[in-house]
Structure 1
């Protein structure tokens, strides 16, 4: 038996973060090193038309589970459409970004970094922003 107690957190109690000023993607840390995990798991919320900057993770695969909304995954030379129920896995070292292709609806994903590699601290070192009641409602609807 491990001596560590299980951890239960409610999404309504978690803050969101913008990694950089002017970002159009809010991330909420669901699990990561602070909870004793070597992987990190996030709720990501893209504003309509929003996008991540081009980024890469040398030592980690990254998996996105699309809960609601539509988008496009740009990875190296590939561009793939994304919609609810899609599971996208990006290989370590790929240069990628996700774009919300809707002009009116948000894009919601659960994102898993197989090896955190400092990503959770990058996120939580950003600007803290509240998750909105509409975002929490959309998440509950998507998971129902």
Structure 2
């Protein structure tokens, strides 16, 4: 079996709702690569944040690619920045907010999927812009 290779041009990008201040670019999921984890790049606008959310069984991991933020979980906040990794355990009520003067980029992996990819794909399809592509492309 051949490995699946994608570039940022191949990612499908969504805002979960019209007023969302973050976008999710699906890298791999069951629909695109027949795999159980959901892997995406989450892009937060300046001042953007996720709504507080929780996963019953899933573990969610974030690797900070660019920018600075605050990671909130169960009422506690910790600063995060490029190069940091964040692991959110199941059942933790959590959200990330961008405190950078520019966009915040994270690589997000959720295992098991727990309907995350379906939630993303139910949103509004958008595109990566030049700034996003500059961060995500090989140099």
Assess same fold via TM > 0.5.
Answer: yes
TM-score range, shorter chain: over 0.9
Mapping of residues 1-144 of structure 1, within 5 Å: 4-34=1-31, 35-102=33-100, 104-140=101-137
- Count of equivalent residues: 138
CA distance in 1 between partners of 2:134 and 2:105 (Å): 12
Question: TM-score, normalising length from structure 2?
Answer: 0.94
Q: Which 4+ residue blocks in structure 1 deviate beyond 2 angstroms?
A: none
Does structure 1 conserve the Cα–Cα contact (< 8 Å) formed by 2:8 and 2:136? Answer: no
Which runs of 5 or more structure 2 residues have no equivalent in the other structure? Answer: none
Root-mean-square deviation (Å):
1.3
CA distance in 1 between partners of 2:125 and 2:75 (Å): 33
Select the structure that is richer in strand. Answer: 2
Q: CA deviation at 1:118?
A: 1.1
